[in-house]
Structure 1
Amino acid sequence: MNVESYKPAGAEGSVPLKECPMKCKIRCSATSHKKPCNFYCNYCCKRCLCVPSGTVGNKEECPCYNNLKTQDGKPKCP
């Protein structure tokens, strides 16, 4: 294994672009607002190549994902 290309699970750049939909489906599985959750999760995943583990929280695993904000300064990513 190439150590330089290794990214721990959840780390930024650890999610290949093609895996964003599946990772976001898991991330949004516990919400009743699945459509907007999946939309924004996929947007954030494509920008950051990272989705935090679990269905809520753990955003410290993905600083890029965590730092994307709306115009109002609220978190953009679920």
Structure 2
Amino acid sequence: MSQLPKEYPFIHIYAQHKARQPAIIKANTEGLCLLLNAIVTALAYPQNNSTAEIFCGDAECYQVLVQHISTHEELAPLPYQKKHEPE
């Protein structure tokens, strides 16, 4: 596992695998601040996506995309839903 200084923004977001399962966010203070800033930016500018560049547990950089939506349809598809194929 790669090592980065502790002041780097670390965050890992564990997605749901099935309904009613909690989503989990594990992060240091810097990672939570970047996520908070991305959320505030999405609220301030709802027509744009907001991103935060952060590091996961193995020190790989990735982006968290925060989208402000206004309808339930914009949530679809849910990551844990199986695609129903016609029989």
Does TM, normalized by the shorter one, top 0.5? no
Which structure dedicates a bigger proportion of its chain to helix? 1
TM-score normalised per structure 2: 0.25
Which structure dedicates a bigger proportion of its chain to strand? 2
Structure possessing the higher radius of gyration over alpha carbons:
2
TM-score normalised per structure 1: 0.27
